[in-house]
């Protein structure tokens, strides 16, 4: 059992600084787009594919178009969107094309301040990091 645990730890790679910067830039671009009320630009961080999966409190949503529609329904205007900030807690690079990020979001609106956590799985697709799986609670 100890051997399996140690092997698993060793299999996890140190995050490549260039890959981490690319993901940090993507997250900053998403935060800025959200805070400007631009969902289309916010969604540029996601993989534009039907295999994209977003898991929220109501369960999974499959596909880019469905995920965008879910965001539009839940956040129909700038007031509903509020001001978003991310606290990026933990990066884990599994291989040259797969990176996981755990973080916390805070949304400041006039009537409330929802907060929660997310786990994002990024894949390097055609030279660009994209979110392929998002679990937010």
Q: Over the stretch 1-39, which tens digit does the pLDDT of each residue have?
A: 444 444 444 455 689 999 999 999 999 999 999 999 999
Q: pLDDT, tens digit, for every residue of 86-114?
A: 999 999 999 999 999 999 999 999 999 99
Count of beta carbons in the 10 Å neighbourhood of residue 53: 18
Taking the C-alpha atoms of residue 24 and residue 129, their distance in angstroms, rounded to an integer, is: 10
Q: Is 57 left (phi over 0), alpha (psi -120 to 50) or beta?
A: alpha
Domain residue extents for the chain = 15-136
Fold of 15-136: Nuclear Transport Factor 2; Chain: A, (3.10.450)
pLDDT at 55 over 60: yes
């Amino acid at each position: 059992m100890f051997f399996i645990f140690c092997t698993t730890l060793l299999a996890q790679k140190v995050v490549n600084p260039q890959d981490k910067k690319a993901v940090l830039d993507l997250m900053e671009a998403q935060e800025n787009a959200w805070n400007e009320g631009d969902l289309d630009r916010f969604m540029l961080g996601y993989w534009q594919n039907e295999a994209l999966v977003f898991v929220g409190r109501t369960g999974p949503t499959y596909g880019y178009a469905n995920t965008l529609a879910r965001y539009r329904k839940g956040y129909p205007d700038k007031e509903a969107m509020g001001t978003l900030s991310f606290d990026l807690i933990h990066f884990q690079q599994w291989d040259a094309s797969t990176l996981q990020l755990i973080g916390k979001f805070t949304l400041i609106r006039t009537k409330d301040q929802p907060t929660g956590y997310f786990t994002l799985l990024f894949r390097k697709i055609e030279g660009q990091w994209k979110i392929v799986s998002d679990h937010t609670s």
